[in-house]
Amino acid sequence: MGTEKSEISLMTPYNLGKFNLSHRVVLAPLTRQRSYHNVPQPHAILYYSQRTTKGGLLISEATGVSDTAQGYPDTPGIWTKEQVEAWKPIVEAVHAKGGVFFCQIWHVGRVSNFGFQPNGQAPVSSTDKGLKSQIRANGVDVAEFSPPRRLRTDEIPEIVNDFRVAARNAMEAGFDGVEIHGAHGYLVDQFMKDQVNDRTDQYGGSLENRCRFPLEIVEALVDEIGADKVGIRLSPFASYMDSGDSNPEALGLYMAESLNKYGILYCHMVEPRMKTVGEKCQTHQSLLPIRKAFKGTFMVAGGYDREDGNKAIANNNADLVVYGRLFLANPDLPRRFELNAPLNKYNRETFYISDPVLGYTDYPFLESIAQISN
Ligand SMILES: Cc1cc2nc3c(=O)[nH]c(=O)nc-3n(C[C@H](O)[C@H](O)[C@H](O)COP(=O)(O)O)c2cc1C
């Protein structure tokens, strides 16, 4: 096992606004479907604290802003008092180890069905175009979607307000800030992408109109909790959940430039090579023009390993690198990168099961592997 310590760019400190990070390896938002009945559970205390380092940044799994926001079993929410209280000990555990913890807030929009909706109503979206059934990430289950109901223009401020209240609740739960989930074909993305949004009001048509909803959310959050605590995740190049765009470069640039006006803390972009959440592909498209346009902290995600993450930092293509599957399977990922130690392999089959331990908190640390092999 390589245990040589070497100075690598990924392990250098970085000031994320007022947060003094000790390294650049960020925990990606990862849905784990272990928050029974949408309430975070005590087993998440161990899960997140295992992945906490002093001065490390963690982003929580996607967390629903309201009872219409849900589309997957047992994903957490942050719209009730009970949910806020349940998050508190999890956030406290991360803080006790010196971590910085942002809450990713989302609304799935049309990626849902009657079964997840209050009173069995239709999911809401920018459109009334439905989604085809899809094989779930485990490769076995089929996700069924119900035809969505297009939000009326006068209902949109209510959804913006749900995001505002969720951000307020996240601060009440102790989080250091909030990340708007504007990626991967969920509600915010359903407004931005021209292959989904077919509205004719001020929220559809031109780039400016399609980006109005996300920017209204940004504005509400900046007003509610302060720009220094707001980040956003975007995936202009992805077409996950039938949410492609005819000009992703223009969309990404328009958002970066518009976000500059609000001075938010960070922009977190998914790499063009991630056309879907789990598969890397070859592409000539690049985030560099967007990186150059955005004035705040720029985070990148999608298919990174130690080597190319290091390069991204060394070449100044990003300020922070976000790791999903590798961090899921390696609770001590920053340390392994520092030591250039071998990595545990992730097991897709346990990504989304409801077991409170299996595939969740039982991935071994380097120390325990060393003990077993001694
Ligand atoms: C199990 C799993 C759950 C995920 N959940 C979320 C989520 O809640 N929010 C989100 O923005 N992305 C989510 N993603 C996408 C990851 O954050 C990340 O962008 C993706 O895995 C690609 O990065 P990686 O190659 O480092 O894994 C999820 C991915 C996986 C594998």
Active-site residues, by number, are 186
Whole-Å CA distances, 13 to 7, 10, 26, 89, 266: 11, 8, 12, 27, 16
The answer to whether residue 87 sits within a structural domain is: yes
Residue pair 47/32 in contact (Cβ under 8 Å)? The answer is yes
**Residue of 31, 38, 355 to test ligand 1 pocket, by largest number of atoms within 8 Å of CB:** 31
Q: Give the mean model confidence (pLDDT) for residues 324-342.
A: 97
pLDDT at position 133: 86
> 123: closest CA among 79, 201, 69?
69
Q: How confident is the model at residue 142 (pLDDT cuts 50, 70, 90)?
A: confident
Mean pLDDT of the chain: 95
Average pLDDT over residues 292-313: 97
Residue 355 pLDDT more than 70?
A: yes
Ligand 1 atom closest to residue 61's alpha carbon, by position in its atom list: 8
Q: How far apart are CA 161 and CA 42, in angstroms?
A: 29
What is the number of the ligand 1 atom nearest to the C-alpha of 322? Answer: 26
Residue 2, pLDDT above cutoff 50: no
31 lines ligand 1 (CB under 6 A): yes
Looking at ligand 1, which residue's alpha carbon is closest to its atom 23?
302
pLDDT (tens digit, 9 = 90+) per residue, 102-141? 999 999 999 999 999 999 999 999 999 999 888 776 666 7
Work out the average pLDDT over 242-253: 97
Q: Is residue 303 in a domain? A: yes
**Averaged pLDDT for residues 354-363:** 98
**Residue ranges making up the domain that contains 36:** 9-110+151-373
pLDDT at position 159 is 98
Per-residue pLDDT band for 3 (boundaries 50, 70, 90) equals very low
Distance between Cα 372 and ligand 1 center (Å):
30
Percent residues over pLDDT 90 in the chain? 89
pLDDT one-digit tens code per residue, 312-323: 999 999 999 999
* Number of domains composing the chain: 1
Rounded mean pLDDT, 258-279? 91
Residue 119: inside a domain, yes or no? no
Exposed/middle/buried for residue 80 (C-beta within 10 Å: 0-12, 13-18, 19+) = middle
Among left, alpha and beta (phi > 0; psi -120 to 50; other), residue 301 is beta
Q: Is the CB of 62 under 6 A from ligand 1?
A: yes
Q: What share of the chain is helix, strand, coil (3-state, %, to 5)?
A: 35, 15, 50
Residue 280 binned pLDDT confidence (cut-offs 50, 70, 90): confident
Q: What's the pLDDT score for residue 277?
A: 65
Beta carbon of 323 within 6 Å of any ligand 1 atom = yes
- CATH number, domain of 287, equals 3.20.20.70
Is there a domain that residue 139 lies in?
no
44: CA distance to ligand 1 center in Å? Answer: 17
pLDDT value at residue 139: 65
Mean predicted confidence (pLDDT) in 197-217: 98
- pLDDT tens-digit map of 16-40: 999 999 999 999 999 999 999 999 9
Residue type, position 287, single letter: L
**Residue 145 domain-assigned?**
no
